[in-house]
Amino acid sequence: MRSSDGRTRSVVRDMPGAGWDYSIARHPYHEHERPKGAHYCVYNRRLMAVCFDDHTIEEGYWRLRRQAAVLHTGEYVLEFSGPDAEALLDRLFTKDVAKVKAGRCGYGLACYEDGGLLVDGILLRLAENRFWYAQADGDFYGWARAHASGMDVSITDPDVFVSQVQGPNSLKVLEAAAGSLPEKFTYFACTQVELGGQDVVVTRTGYTNELGWEFYTEPHHDPEALWAHLQRAGAGFGMEILGLDAMNIRRIEAGILNAGSDFNETTTPYAAGLGRFVDADKADFIGKAALEAADKGRRSHGIKCPDGEPLISGAVYVNGSSAGVVTAGATSPFMGHGIGIALMDSPDHGPGTSIEVRCKDGSRLTGELVELPMYDQACEIPRGKLVPQHR
């Protein structure tokens, strides 16, 4: 039985005792989550909250859409430094890393030799020869080490933890916490600001396609003082800690994919709708030859289901025959119906295709494949150019 059956989900709770969690890391702000009744998943061998007892998923969703939400993530940060850091990363990723200048971020997408997707994440260029890669759940450290053989590059775990502040009030929180907004803090910017007397790396990024930013807690920080400072700054803007469940709805609406479920080693970037992140004209990178020969058709699309919530791992039917699978499902309070992401068997079925989809209650209901993102196609919300009118 799996959590995708719609009936049972296994999550982690704190309990008295010791043992058998030796390899699991807790976020520096774990003690601020625990009193809220946190339920965790294990992500990159780190605990990441999926929901809390002190608010509903829908309440969390509207907090994200209308005020400010904080997620202490399970993203795992690797540091690449040295004269060959750029050359190694350029070989590992499908995008041209040289185009990511110091003080900027890039989307890091890595493939196997056969073009199948390995992992994705955000690449921060802190200096000319120093990078951080905040990766999604996946086995990337050993892969990078193996391909670094003979190169002058150091790959280390800087013991950094990532938190994100998202929502229309998020930059107001940063401005209050830092005294002013950083200069040129545009979409995908990376910089360092002083927060309550501590220098902290922040990026204009997030997993929601809302206006937002992320901050990186390092070992030398005083996390208690840092969090207390941010709480004071966010108090007037409705900032609260939320879990993945609330943000999951928004990321589905926005078409942000989850590594390991929406795509995996059997899916190419083109099939996942990530072909724009492949620089086919750059020098050789792992998987380039396979991707040059691969089908360029997209197979990942949104699902609109007016009368039910698509079941994760449920079948998607076209003309009565199974033609794909649901990789993500939720009910959108904003859109007022069930939504999801489908990975179709063929690129022949795209937006506008009438489907039937297996739903959480076991029924098979009528739906439609739709474009991703489901709205805000120009991504004006995360750039601060649009505040949506809530339905």
Going by DSSP bridges, is the β-strand pair 46-52/68-72 parallel, antiparallel, or unpaired? unpaired
Q: What are phi and psi of 176, to 5 degrees?
A: -65, -35
C-alpha distance from residue 193 to each of 29, 79, 161, 200, 322 (Å):
20, 20, 16, 5, 52
Exposure on the CB side of residue 231, measured as CA atoms within 13 A = 9
Query: H helices of the chain, where?
Result: 30-33, 57-66, 85-92, 141-147, 170-178, 223-234, 244-254, 288-293
Largest pairwise CA distance in the chain: 62
Could you list the pLDDT tens digit for every one of the 391 residues in the chain? Answer: 567 777 889 999 999 999 999 999 999 999 999 999 999 999 999 999 999 999 999 999 999 999 999 999 999 999 999 999 999 999 999 999 999 999 999 999 999 999 999 999 999 999 999 999 999 999 999 999 999 999 999 999 999 999 999 999 999 999 999 999 999 999 999 999 999 999 999 999 999 999 999 999 999 999 999 999 999 999 999 999 999 999 999 999 999 999 999 999 999 999 999 999 999 999 999 999 999 999 999 999 999 999 999 999 999 999 999 999 999 999 999 999 999 999 999 999 999 999 999 999 999 999 999 999 999 999 899 988 887 655 4
pTM: 0.96
Cα-based angle 70, 73, 75 (whole degrees, multiple of 5): 150
